[in-house]
Structure 1
C-alpha cells in the first residue's frame, strides 16, 4: 500500500455567475440523460415482474424467494445506492474540484477498500445468521419446517448480492462525480435481464424456478459490477495507484454516511409503519397501497431522483467561499426543474388514475372493487409527488455543505407527522388515509428543508412564480385529460391517446410561455 497522494493546489475557477450558469445547464442535461436511461430500466423492471409472476407464481416458494431477495436489498437501501452515493459524491466532487483528479482517485480507492471490508463482514454475518434473519423477516415460516429450511438456504445464496451492489453503488457515485450518468442509470437493467433469463430458462427446462432465481441474484450483482468497471476506465478513472486505509477524506465520507443511513432507516420505518397500520384495515388494503405506490414511483424514479442525483455533483463543486450566488442559482434551477416535471406528472396520474389502474392491474382476481380502492389510494398519493421530487435536490444541498444532521432531524419529524396524520384519518378514510398521510409528510419534509436552507443563508430565488405557472398549466391539463378520459370506453385507448396529448400540450404551452426549464430541457435533448 502506497502513501497518500499529496494535495494539489486548487484549480482556478471562473466567476460565480458564469460557473453557476454552466452548472445549471449541466444539471438539466444530466437529468435528461439519467431520466431517459432510468425509463428503460423501469420498463424492463415491469417486464421482470410480469415474467416472475408467470414463472414463479404466488405460492410458498415465491414467498421464500421474495423474503430472501428482500434482505440484501434492505442493505442496499440502507448502505448502498442512496446513502453511499450521497455521502461519497459530495466529498469526491469537492476534492476533485479543489485538489485534482489524483487526490480524488486516491479517495475512491480507499473507499473501495472500506466498502468491500464492511459489506464483506456484513454478508458473512448474514450468511451465518440466515436462520435468525429468516425468522425475523418471516416468522410465519417457522411453522412449516420445510419452507423455513428452503427460505434459509435462499437467504444464504442471495446475501452476497449486497457485497456486489454496494461496490456498484460506489462505482455509480464515481461516475456521477465524473459527469457520467447514463451507465449508472442503466446498471439495474443488468439485474432485470439476468433475473428474466434465469426465470425463463428454469421454467422452460423444468428446474426449480425459485432456487434458480436465488442463484441468479448474486450472479446479477457480480454482472452489474462487471458492467460498471469498464465505464470507470473509459472515464479516465485509475483503479490502481496510491491510497490509504486511514485517508482523512474517507473518514469524512464515513461521518457523512452515518446520518445518511439513519435517514434511509427513517424512510424504511415509514414503509414498515404504513404496512403495520394497513394490516389493521380490511383485507386487500396493503395490496391496493402497493399497486398505487408502484405507479407513483415510476415518474419519481425516472424524473424525481434524476434531478437530485444530477444536482449533487454540481452543488458539491460550487460550495465554498465566493460561490454563494452560483450555489444558490444552481439549487434554485434544480428545484424549478423538479417542479416543472413533477407537477404535470402528479396531474397526469390524478387525471388518468382510473384507466391506468384498470389497464395495468384490472384483470383476473383484481376485481372492480380492487381497482376502485387502488384508484382512491393513487389519488391521495399523487399530490405528494412534487414534494418528494423536491426533497432530493434539497437534501443534496445539505450534503454538499457537509450538513447531514438537519435532513435526518427533519426526516424524523416527518415520520411523526406521517404517524399522526394516518392515525387521525384512518377511522374516516381507511387505507386512503395512509396514502394521504404520505403526501402530507412529504410536503412537511420539503417545506422544512427549504426554510432551513433559507435560514442558513442559501440564496434561493425565482421559484414561486415559475411554480405558480407550472401549477396552473398542470391544473388545466388535469381538467382537459380527465374530461377527455370520459369519452373513451377502452382504458388502453384512453392511455395511448391522452398521455402523449398531455405531454405535447404541457410542453408546447411551456415553450410558448418561454419557460426557462422547458428551453433548458429542449437544448439538453438536442445536444
Structure 2
C-alpha cells in the first residue's frame, strides 16, 4: 500500500514537473522578451512597481485562499457530502466576485495616492505610468481570486497541472501582446496582457471544474461555512500580506538606489523563482494534498510524509543551488543577455542571482513547512514567522542598500529567509509533528558532502571553460555536476534517491 501511494505521488510529481518545466520555460521566454523589447528603463521600473504592489499585497488574499481552501474543501466533502459542497462553493464564488469588484473600484480611485506612497522618488511621467499600470493591473484581482479557488478544487481532487497551464496562458498572452502592441503602446501592452490572460484562465477552469462543482449564483453569501473559512484565512492572509509587504518594502527601497535597480531585482527574482520553484513547487503542491488528507486520518502517516518531503527537498535543491551560484552569469546571459539588456545589467543581475541561490533550500523548506501547518489548520505560527521575516528584512535592507545597492537588498532577503526557515523548523519539531533528526541527518550529511565535491568540480570547470559560449558552459556544467552528485549519493546509499529510482523502475515496467 505504501509503495502504491509513493508511486502515485512520484507519478503526480513527474507529470506536474513536466508541465511546470514547460510553463517556466515559456515564462522565462516572456521575461527574455521584456528584456529584449524594453531593457532596464524607467518604464519597466514603473511596470514592476505597479504590478508588484497589486501582486504582493492583494494577491496575498489569493494565496491565503489557495492555502486554506484545499483542507476546507476535503473536509466539507467528506462530512457534508457533494450537494452541500456545491452550495458552499457557489456562495464563496459569489462572495469573492463581490469583494473583488469593490477592491477594483477602490484601487482605481486611489491609484494616484498609492503610487506616491510606493514610489516616493517618482515624479512626472514615471509617476503617471505607475498610476496607469496599477489601474489596468487591478482588473486582474477578480479573475485571480476565482482562478485560485477553482485551481484549489482541482488540487483537492488530485487533478494537478492547471496551475502550470495558467502560467503558460499568462506567458503566451504577454508575449503576443508585446509582439502585436509594443510598437503602439509600449510597456502598456504588458499591463493589458495580465488581466486578459487571467480571463482566459478562468474560462478554462470554469469548464474543467464542472465535473466536480455545479455553480449557481446566490444572494446568500454570508453563510456559517464562509465565516469559518474567513476565520481560517485571516492568519494566513495576515502572514501572506506580511510576506508581500516584505517584497513591497524591498522594491520601495530598491527604487531609491538608481534607475533600473527595480528591474534588476525583478529579473533576478524571476530567475530565483524559475530555478527553485520549478522543483519545489511541484513537490509541495502534491504533498500538500497528501498532508491535508493524512492530517485528518493518521497522525503517524502525517509525520512520515512531512519528514520524507523535507529530505526530498534537501536532496533535490542542493545541486541546483550550487550550479546557480557558480554559473549565475551564464544563466543571466542566456536568459536576458540580448537587445537592450547590456553587460552592466547582466553583471548586476548575476550578482543578485548568486546571492539568491544560497536561499534555495531554505526557502523551499519554509514553504513546505507552512503547507504542513495549513494542512492541520494551524495558521498562526506561519503568520508570526512571516512577521519575523519582515522585521529582519526591513531592519537590514535599508542599511545594506546604502552600501551595496540592489545587491544589499537581496542579501537582506536571503538573511531573512534563512533565519525564518530555521525558526519555523525548530518550532515545527516541538508543536507540529515528529521530525526525527536521526532520520534527517544522514540524508543531510550525504547531500552536503556530495554537493561540496560537486561544487569543487564545477568551480574547476568554470575556470577551464573560460571563453566558451554560455549555452555550452551551462549545459556541460549541469550534466557533469548532476552526474557526479547522483553517483556520489548512490555510492553512499542515499535512501531517498534509491526510493525514487525504484519507483521509476516500477512505473516503467508497468507501462510496458
CA-to-partner distance for each residue in 1:469-488, whole Å, 9 max, x for gaps?
A: 11222212221122112222
Question: Residues 451 and 302 (structure 1 numbering): CA distance in 2 closer, same or farther, change over 3 Å?
Answer: same
Match of 2:274 among 298, 304, 318: 298
SS at 1:459's partner residue? Answer: coil
Deviation at 1:442, TM superposition (A): 1.5
Where does the alignment leave 5 or more consecutive residues of structure 2 unmatched?
none
Q: Which residue of 1 aligns with 2:156?
A: 177
Number of aligned residue pairs: give it. Answer: 502
Question: Residues 125 and 460 (structure 1 numbering): CA distance in 2 closer, same or farther, change over 3 Å?
Answer: same
Q: Which residue of 2 aligns with 1:487?
A: 464
The answer (yes or no) to whether the contact 1:278–1:285 under 8 Å persists in 2 is yes
The answer (yes or no) to whether the contact 2:143–2:198 under 8 Å persists in 1 is yes
Match of 1:327 among 293, 302, 319: 302
Match of 2:77 among 96, 106, 128: 96
Question: Residues 364 and 455 (structure 1 numbering): CA distance in 2 closer, same or farther, change over 3 Å?
Answer: same
SS at 2:464's partner residue? Answer: coil
Question: Residues 512 and 174 (structure 1 numbering): CA distance in 2 closer, same or farther, change over 3 Å?
Answer: farther
Match of 2:110 among 101, 105, 129: 129
> In structure 2, how many angstroms separate the alpha carbons of the residues matched to 1:207 and 1:116?
33
Question: Residues 497 and 129 (structure 1 numbering): CA distance in 2 closer, same or farther, change over 3 Å?
Answer: same
The answer (yes or no) to whether the contact 2:44–2:263 under 8 Å persists in 1 is no
Deviation at 1:282, TM superposition (A): 7.1
> In structure 1, how many angstroms separate the alpha carbons of the residues matched to 2:282 and 2:255?
33
Q: Write out aligned runs for 1:272-421 (5 A).
A: 272-278=248-254, 288-320=264-296, 323-362=298-337, 371-421=346-396
The answer to whether the aligner puts 1:237 opposite 2:234 as a matched pair is: no
CA-to-partner distance for each residue in 1:360-413, whole Å, 9 max, x for gaps?
A: 445677665554444443332222110100011101111112111111112212
> In structure 1, how many angstroms separate the alpha carbons of the residues matched to 2:259 and 2:43?
22
Match of 2:12 among 21, 24, 30: 30
Question: Residues 112 and 406 (structure 1 numbering): CA distance in 2 closer, same or farther, change over 3 Å?
Answer: same
> In structure 2, how many angstroms separate the alpha carbons of the residues matched to 1:323 and 1:401?
12
Deviation at 1:250, TM superposition (A): 2.5
TM-score (norm 2): 0.86
The answer (yes or no) to whether the contact 1:407–1:449 under 8 Å persists in 2 is yes
Deviation at 1:326, TM superposition (A): 0.6
> Root-mean-square deviation (CA), in Å?
3.3
Question: Residues 428 and 454 (structure 1 numbering): CA distance in 2 closer, same or farther, change over 3 Å?
Answer: same
Where does the alignment leave 5 or more consecutive residues of structure 1 unmatched?
1-17
Deviation at 1:516, TM superposition (A): 3.7
CA-to-partner distance for each residue in 1:495-520, whole Å, 9 max, x for gaps?
A: 12221332333334444544443345
> In structure 2, how many angstroms separate the alpha carbons of the residues matched to 1:330 and 1:174?
22
> In structure 2, how many angstroms separate the alpha carbons of the residues matched to 1:229 and 1:152?
32
> In structure 2, how many angstroms separate the alpha carbons of the residues matched to 1:291 and 1:156?
23
> In structure 2, how many angstroms separate the alpha carbons of the residues matched to 1:354 and 1:158?
32
Deviation at 1:253, TM superposition (A): 1.8
The answer (yes or no) to whether the contact 1:157–1:214 under 8 Å persists in 2 is yes
SS at 1:319's partner residue? Answer: helix
Match of 2:204 among 224, 227, 232: 227
The answer (yes or no) to whether the contact 1:38–1:301 under 8 Å persists in 2 is no
Match of 1:85 among 66, 71, 87: 66
